[in-house]
Structure 1
Amino acid sequence: MVAHVLSLKLRLLANGFKRSIGQLIGVIIGGLYALGMIVMLTLAVWFTAGEIPFQADIFTLIGSAVVLGWAIIPPLLTGVDLTLEPSRFVHFGIPEKTLGPALVLAGFISIPAALTIVGLIGASLMWRLDAAALTLALVAAIATAVMAILLCQYLVIMATALRAKRRFRELTFVLLFVVLVGLGPILSSVFSAALSLGDWVSPIAAVLGYTPLGAFAAVPGAFAAGLYGQMAIHLLLGVIYLGGLYLLLARATAKATVTPPPEQRAATAKGLGFFKLLPATPTGAVAARALTYWLKDPRYAIGVLIVPMLPLLFWFTGNQTGSYAMMYVLGPMIGILMGFSISADISYDNTAFALHALTGISGRADRAGRALSCLLVAIIPVLAAAILPGLITGSFWRIPGDLGLSLAALFIALGVSSVASARYTYSVPLPGDNPMKTPPGNGLRVALTQILTMLVMGLLLIPVLIPYVIGWVQQSQSLGFITLGAGLVLGVLLLLGGIALGGKWYEKRTPELMQAVMLNK
């Protein structure tokens, strides 16, 4: 049975590559890139062996980072390969003692797992000048990789029931997004607060060496330093952690194979929501539906979350460099990003787009409703980002120009997105999926479409940028008012033009759009 499950996993892995040429090419390119980076780092470690400062602490940190990465990123952020998820075997009646170990071993058959093992073995070569330490480092590297993969499998099984709850998925995504965005400032603050490398490396590594994250990775360093008692403690703790984790995983796997997965409850709603607040017109109905998405669909959360994060990042950057000039581009940047976020609206609709296709709603009403919903969400943050920097710093002469450029960026982005979403569709995360999930096989097309859309937005913004830049150089409030007038006129005209053109394309391509979103399943 174990051999059969392992061969099944290998066959599923191979068939996944055959499904899409684009996916196969992407995997090959990504794998070669990752392998190339591992080879380069391994060569660097080989030639600098014995000269790396805080070598023992660095190796502990590397091992801990790998285990932590496997514990966080695959289960919560991008998802993992669930083709052999234990709950899928609930109907087959296979004995738990047989199926559990087989599924645990199957978790090691993946490209990320192989790259992890190779990378950790490469890192262990920093001990090559000491044969005994190198032997311990190789064993520690493999044990650390096993710890990482087992921990990932266990957390995936434990999170299965929670993933059935939409609020848990949304909260997880929000927290991880905030942590990832703020990771740079956090690390920079830690590094700047330390007077030397050892001020932060040694204490952190010392603590991690007694945790499941770095227990094995701390073994060769303790041996090389002659701390044999400490080495024994790290080794014993690592064995205990790994054995306990395996028992927990085997028990969780066995339980999952006989316990049906939890059913997702249908969402309940009270009242008419935004439909009660907006006009009872086709445009108002589309806007109300889109506003509901903005508040309840986590796929739209990226555009909303970026608004409060950008000021924090720019303020932190200014605090480090002593220049807060980036704060003045917050308005146009938020306007562009928020307007761009509706460029995949129809793709996000998925099968719900049938509501628009079957009711025969006009293209102009569809385009206007979607643009109106985004405008209602974005207008307050854009106005605040355009006015507050100049108001806080006392540079009142900047406010009209910043306001004009920001509003122009928002209106132009909405107009261009109204055209782009009616003309181009691509695979996006399905409703209920992880917002960061990347559907296979269309990465290049998505990237090109998004780059071209942003490029068109930037080109159309040039007529407003010219008086803005001149006014900024001359510190002229008069040119700022010219920028404001030009931004409002050009922005509104391009928004109306984008709604009209996008509406015509929408009406001509409604069957093709419906077919495209139906294929994204």
Structure 2
Amino acid sequence: MAAPIAGLTAGRPAHSSGPAGTAAVVALFVGLKLRLIGNSLKGSNARLIAGLIGSAAGIGITVTGGYLVAQLRNAAAADAYLVLVCGGSIVLIGWVLLPVLIFGIDESIDPLRFTLLPLSRKKLLAGMLAAGFIGIPAAATLLVSTATVVTWSRGVLPVLYAAAGALLATVFCVVVSRAVTTALSGVFRSRRVRDLVSMAGMLLVGSVVLLQFGLPSMAQLATREVVEQIAGVLAWTPLGAAWAAPHDAVEGSAGLGFIRLLIMAAAVVILLVAWNEAMRRSLESGGAAAGSGTRRPHGKEPGSNRLTPAWARWFLPPTVTGAVAERILRLWWRDPRQRVSLLIIPVILAGVVAGPSIAGFRDEVLVMAGPGVGTLIGLMMLNHTAYDGSALWTHLAVSLPGQVDRAGRALGTAVWALPVVGLAAGATCMVVQRPDLFPAAFGASVATVLVGLAFASVTSVVIAFPAPPASANPFITPGGGNVVVVMQQFVGGLTVGLLSLPVYLLLGFALWWRAEFGWALLIAGPVYGLLLLRLGCRIGGKYLDEHGPELLRRITPTRT
């Protein structure tokens, strides 16, 4: 990355004015983005394979989406209008929310990286806009949007409106995502704001769960009359205007469709102005956010207190393993990257336990909620070692045995995880009014937690990758590792599910055959989990002893 940037300071393109100078900067930014994408696939075969699989999946989804949109050509114009306006609006909303809540700030085109270069804001804006179109998300949006040309191939004017709407919608998506992330790039450097966003993401996930279990089916509420009313409102907003314009042309209201396209174009212009202003503030302030500095409470000095509260010390031994567990337990609550995962669990439990009760659903299958949460907790640990970052050197410097490190991490998580799944097991048994199933639910819940921790004891060192920095948005993944995250979670979930299969089979026998199987599961489940955990700690510990420096290098984000 350094060589192309050097061209900005040494060559003429950075100082030249007019279209030629802007075109050179645009070409340079596009080249930088392509190089960054290529570099993100280097470094390991696993990353390359994950990137290729992710690209293939993205292409498959794009082709499928484009085909389905094109098939609306055979539907009635009114039906195609409803599907495209509602579906297209959801896509545009996703472009606003997902970059912040899931994928995070795209650091590869963060304007703060170009603060010291001799670039005007106009050229920087043009270059970043062009770079925003590079990648599967923007390409997929453009291709699927362009498929509406086939949908509205019912006249020359509808086709022209569809083509213009597809282009405007894609530009809107890229610009709005860049404007939002640029505006928040400085704000996210404040820990309070990062924690607030974490809480917002947690509440969003919890709301989806509650809507799924606690309210009537959305399909029952979404009658055609309701959908038409919603689409009618969306069609006058930037979210749905581009998708509604071709339908107006088909219905003979070309002027109305042109007005909708003007609404979309005006929204793009307003967003560009807002993006330019956000970039100006970000560059002038250097990305600093109010309150981003760290302040030590009065009277508090490092080492003045134990790492964990008094209640936790009753469960942790006064050994090296207990010391590691104390640090991990502290990490779960103090680190915003971990807290967002930790706080999602009670919200999900509330939706799973309280939602069905509100809806009058009391099937015995709900007893599997406790074991399911246990599996989820195990999946949260799949890359847990990476959250240490460069601090892992402290373990390596004192030659801490790898097996002790693995056992301490598992213990630090089990201290809070086992009570949580135990409460979940008891609550679900009360909801379904089957207290006789509690032994089975509790044994299965404890077993799934231990099985997940056992597998994570291996994966968090063998296939670890850099975690988001502690000072960054907790939802991002450095180095283009989002595909790796998805692949790790998919393969990890499949493996943990297979390892937990005996537990779920015994739980099924207790649910649908004889509840007495639960007493066997109450004993055999935790024993099975402990055996796997011991094996996982040995395997993961041995790998850590032999490949500690390589692991440290792998989980420490590189700066470009």
**TM-score over 0.5 for the pair:** yes
Q: What is the 5 A alignment of 1:173-188?
A: 173-180=198-205, 182-183=207-208, 186=211
Q: What is the 5 A alignment of 1:336-485?
A: 336-438=375-477, 457=496, 461=500, 468-477=507-516, 479-485=517-523
Paired residues of 2:468 and 2:475 also in contact (CA < 8 A)? yes
1:65 aligns with 2:90: yes
When normalised by structure 2's length, the TM-score is: 0.79
Local SS of the residue matching 2:383: helix
The answer for the alignment partner of 1:7 in structure 2 is 27
Partners of 1:273 and 1:161 in 2: CA distance: 33
The answer for the alignment partner of 1:514 in structure 2 is 552
Task: Give the partner amino acid of 2:323.
Answer: A
Give, in angstroms, the shift of residue 7 of structure 1.
0.8
* Identical-residue share of aligned pairs (%): 26
Partners of 1:507 and 1:24 in 2: CA distance: 29
Partners of 1:101 and 1:447 in 2: CA distance: 32
- More displaced stretch, 456-465 vs 342-351: 456-465
The answer for the alignment partner of 2:231 in structure 1 is 205
Partners of 1:366 and 1:448 in 2: CA distance: 25
Task: Give the partner amino acid of 2:555.
Answer: V
1:265 aligns with 2:293: yes
Partners of 2:128 and 2:486 in 1: CA distance: 36
Change (3 A) 1:205 1:361: same
The answer for the alignment partner of 1:297 in structure 2 is 335
Question: Structure 1 unaligned runs (5+)?
Answer: none
1:286 aligns with 2:319: no
Give, in angstroms, the shift of residue 469 of structure 1.
4.1
Paired residues of 1:339 and 1:374 also in contact (CA < 8 A)? no
1:113 aligns with 2:138: yes
The answer for the alignment partner of 1:86 in structure 2 is 111
1:171 aligns with 2:196: yes
Give, in angstroms, the shift of residue 294 of structure 1.
0.7
The answer for the alignment partner of 2:182 in structure 1 is 157
1:131 aligns with 2:156: yes
Give, in angstroms, the shift of residue 58 of structure 1.
3.1
Change (3 A) 1:65 1:345: closer
Change (3 A) 1:312 1:142: same
Task: Give the partner amino acid of 2:372.
Answer: M
Partners of 2:507 and 2:135 in 1: CA distance: 53
The answer for the alignment partner of 1:248 in structure 2 is 274
Give, in angstroms, the shift of residue 430 of structure 1.
3.9
Question: Structure 2 unaligned runs (5+)?
Answer: 1-20, 43-47
Task: Give the partner amino acid of 2:59.
Answer: L
Paired residues of 1:42 and 1:122 also in contact (CA < 8 A)? yes
Give, in angstroms, the shift of residue 36 of structure 1.
1.6
The answer for the alignment partner of 2:59 in structure 1 is 32
Partners of 2:108 and 2:490 in 1: CA distance: 33
Give, in angstroms, the shift of residue 356 of structure 1.
1.1
Give, in angstroms, the shift of residue 2 of structure 1.
0.7
After superposition, the CA RMSD in angstroms is 3.6
- More displaced stretch, 280-289 vs 148-157: 280-289
1:335 aligns with 2:374: yes
When normalised by structure 1's length, the TM-score is: 0.85
Partners of 1:102 and 1:470 in 2: CA distance: 61
Local SS of the residue matching 1:83: helix
Partners of 1:60 and 1:416 in 2: CA distance: 45
The answer for the alignment partner of 2:348 in structure 1 is 309
Task: Give the partner amino acid of 1:248.
Answer: A
Partners of 2:231 and 2:491 in 1: CA distance: 45
Change (3 A) 1:65 1:458: closer
Give, in angstroms, the shift of residue 371 of structure 1.
1.6
Deviations 1:194-217 (A, max 9, x none): 363x22221111212222322343
**Aligned residues between the structures:** 517
Give, in angstroms, the shift of residue 349 of structure 1.
1.4
The answer for the alignment partner of 2:68 in structure 1 is 41
Task: Give the partner amino acid of 2:151.
Answer: M
Local SS of the residue matching 2:286: coil
